[in-house]
A and B are shown apart, each in its own frame.
Chain A
């Protein structure tokens, strides 16, 4: 069963089209990775998927609701079905980690503060940051900030988590820890992940399904199991990406 479906989507800014005629589905509980070279429009596609930007054309269904057409309360309601982790974490710098997580629940729930605090602590424990609940974002490392951002994205128990380059700028060990966190959350909570990344190690470690975007053709040039694609794809662009071969920078 698909929780997210994209039909004939065209992504870009004004007259500058990044990708066109995109069609894909994300199944419930899978880790879905959007990959491609720099500037191919991965992050822009992601921002379209969770409704931050409006696509040029096409439809995006989350739980059967077309978010490109949803407005007002319907859009507000559908936005509680997913969480987003931005590339730099985007934690609120003036709040402690636990307050960052509680904020969403305080806005959207009628639970009392004790219950909200307990839930927030559980979320922090899920990403291994419970001992740091009262730390400010600038007091923890980049990897911890990203884990805390995942915990905040999970505040409202979303079905889907969108992650924008979760491993970017992290050392291999921290990156592997973050991958493990994502896999655990997917397995234990059944959360569907839609991740933008070009970290090959992460892609191979966690992705169930990928789509690869290409800047030149403005389309999806590969889709499927990344391990299989790495071994079997005959497309030179896909092979170059997976085998880290040099392209022409000019």
Chain B
């Protein structure tokens, strides 16, 4: 007679014949005790079930079980299910009376083994359609938000006394003054890098003295506003989205609505006004730091600071400065508006705030580039 034994600490598998096996359980059957034996026993059972295609009987002797809990029952269910699936017989004997209700509580056991359903795999056309629908939906939300924002900005201009100026100051400090160190550092380094890189090329033509005017022109018209805007997008747009998003998750936005207060006017307008104010101020600051860095760097090429300064005074006109500043005002509206919009679109749960923040940064940067492109086209056509 075939007789093998597979023993683990709390479970012993006795194989008497291809038709008969016995599982002997003892002691405490909890998750800690079952760690070593669960897989071994189930593997032994699967091997035994393949020995014969005819009737096979498994007896589980649970008379020595002293404690059984959720994991212990799960183990019994697993063994039982393997037998039932293979259409073989199983019998549990000797399980103490006090554990019977627990075992019965889990019946029928089939509910623990749901049939595998293959995840639906959308084809290319369906995915493309879904993505397009999402983009259109997003565009619709954006247009709606811009419309409401413009109407509320008009309201704010005609009702200046009703604007929440305290919130405006807090937002302006948060987005503006707190951003000064990082903008100073980045602007200075960009100025230094641009001056060095430009000087390498210009030196070949003996035109180092033109580096400061040309680079400064680029800074005033393009790089200053753009770098400031990108830094603000990463800092302030994300902060606005996280702040309003958290308020949305905590139902504070709903509380405003039910109190008859317009969340757009209460939360968005002060922040957008702060964005309109701080973006050009920070841009002026960034421009000055960058230009200083350029002039300073050119001294390494024996171009005196005053010579670079005079050169850029002759090259740069007020038009160039105002062009950059006008652009920075638009960037300010985009950054704060998009941050607030993504905050207002926050779903539920802590993860939603993170998603809103990420979307705020990405959308702000995309919108900055789009606005910059449109502005570049218009300024080329108008000569501004």
Interface residues of A (CB under 8 A from B): 80, 93-94, 105, 109-112, 114-115, 118-119, 121-123, 125-126, 130, 136-138, 154, 156-157, 188-190
Pairwise interchain contact B35-A111, C-beta atoms closer than 8 A? yes
Report A-chain residues with C-beta under 8 Å of the C-beta of B38: 111-112, 115
The 9 closest A-B pairs by CB, nearest first: A138-B349, A93-B349, A157-B30, A119-B74, A122-B74, A138-B348, A188-B102, A157-B31, A157-B69
- Bound-state CA distance A118–B347 (Å) is 32
Query: Are A109 and B349 neighbours in the complex by a CB distance under 8 Å?
Result: no
How many residues of B sit at the interface, in one of the four size bands? Answer: 20 to 34
CA distance A141 to B110 in the complex (A): 26
Indicate if the CB atoms of B78 and A136 lie closer than 8 Å: no
Q: Contacts A130-B111, A157-B70, A189-B70; is A112 near B39 (CB within 8 Å)?
A: yes
Q: Which residues of B contact A130 (CB under 8 A)?
A: 111-112
Known A111-B39, A118-B78, A188-B105; contact A157-B111, beta-carbon cutoff 8 A: no
Q: Does B101 contact A (CB under 8 A)?
A: yes
Given A125-B106, A156-B31, the answer on whether A115 and B39 have CB atoms closer than 8 Å is yes
Q: Given A136-B349, A189-B69, is A118 in contact with B74 using a C-beta cutoff of 8 Å? A: yes
Asked if B102 contacts A189 (CB within 8 A), the reply is yes
Whether the pair A115, B78 counts as a contact (CB closer than 8 A) is yes
Closest chain A residue to B33, Cβ basis: A157
CA distance A83 to B27 in the complex (A): 23
Residue of B nearest to A123 (CB): B70
Assess whether B111 is in contact with A125, with CB atoms less than 8 Å apart.
yes
> CA of A34 to CA of B75 in the docked complex: distance in angstroms?
35
Is chain B's interface secondary structure helix, strand, loop, or mixed overall?
helix
Chain B residues numbered 99-153 whose CB sits less than 8 Å from any CB in chain A: 101-102, 105-106, 111-112
Q: In this complex, what residue of A is CB-closest to B72?
A: A157
Whether B51 sits at the interface, judged by CB under 8 Å, is no
A119 touches B31 (CB 8 A): yes
Q: A122-B74, A157-B71 are in contact. List 17 more A-B contacts (CB 8 A).
A: A110-B35, A112-B38, A112-B39, A115-B34, A115-B78, A118-B74, A119-B70, A125-B106, A125-B111, A137-B349, A138-B348, A156-B31, A156-B32, A157-B32, A157-B70, A188-B101, A188-B102
Tell whether A122 pairs with B349 under 8 Å between CB atoms, given A109-B31, A157-B70: no
In chain A, what residue has the closest Cβ to B347? Answer: A138
Which of A109, A122, A136 is in CB contact (< 8 Å) with B73?
A: A122
User: B99: nearest residue on chain A (CB-CB)?
Assistant: A188
Tell me how far the C-beta of B185 lies from the nearest C-beta in chain A, rounded to whole angstroms. Answer: 34
CB–CB B105/A126 < 8 A: yes
**In the complex, what distance in Å separates the CA atom of A121 from the CA atom of B111?**
9
Q: In the assembly, what is the distance between CA of A226 and CA of B294, in Å?
A: 80
Distance in angstroms between the alpha carbons of A94 and B353 in the assembled complex: 12
In the complex, residue of chain B having the shortest beta-carbon distance to the beta carbon of A137: B349
Q: Which residues of A contact B34 (CB under 8 A)?
A: 111, 115
- Which residues 10-45 of B have a CB within 8 angstroms of A? 30-32, 34-36, 38-39
Interface core residue of B31, B35, B73, B350 (most chain A CB under 10 Å): B31
Among A110, A122, A154, A189, point to the contact of B112 (Cβ < 8 A). Answer: A122
What's the Cα separation between A20 and B34 when bound, in Å? 42
How far is A33 from B265 in the complex, measured between Cα atoms in Å? 48
Docked complex: B70-100 residues within 8 A CB-CB of A: 70-71, 73-75, 77-78
Inside 8 A of A125's CB, which chain B residues have their CB? 105-106, 111-112
B300 partner residues in chain A, CB cutoff 8 A = none
Residues of the A chain whose Cβ atoms lie less than 8 Å from the Cβ of B351: 93-94
If A93-B351, A157-B30 touch, does A119 touch B71 (CB 8 Å cutoff)?
yes
**C-alpha spacing A119/B74, complex, angstroms:** 5
**Residues of A contacting B30 in the complex (Cβ-Cβ under 8 angstroms):** 157
Within the complex, the shortest CB–CB distance from B12 to chain A, in Å, comes to: 19
The closest CB in chain A to the CB of B103 belongs to: A188
By CB atoms of chain B within 10 A, which of A114, A122, A138 has the most?
A122
Cα A112 to Cα B75 with chains together (Å): 12
Alpha-carbon distance A118/B75, docked complex (angstroms): 8
Beta-carbon contact of A118 and B77 below 8 Å = yes
Minimal beta-carbon separation of A147 from chain B (angstroms): 14
Jot down 26 A-B pairs with beta carbons below 8 A, ordered by A: A80-B32, A93-B349, A94-B351, A105-B31, A111-B31, A111-B34, A111-B35, A111-B39, A112-B39, A115-B39, A118-B77, A121-B74, A122-B70, A122-B74, A122-B77, A123-B70, A130-B111, A137-B349, A138-B347, A138-B348, A156-B31, A156-B32, A157-B69, A157-B70, A157-B71, A188-B101
Q: Tell me the bound Cα distance from A119 to B350 in angstroms.
A: 28
User: CA of A112 to CA of B40 in the docked complex: distance in angstroms?
Assistant: 11
The residue among B39, B102, B112 with the most chain A CB atoms within 10 A of its own CB is B112
Contact yes or no, B35 A126, CB < 8 A:
no
Q: Are A109 and B35 in contact (CB under 8 A)?
A: yes
Q: What's the Cα separation between A154 and B74 when bound, in Å?
A: 13
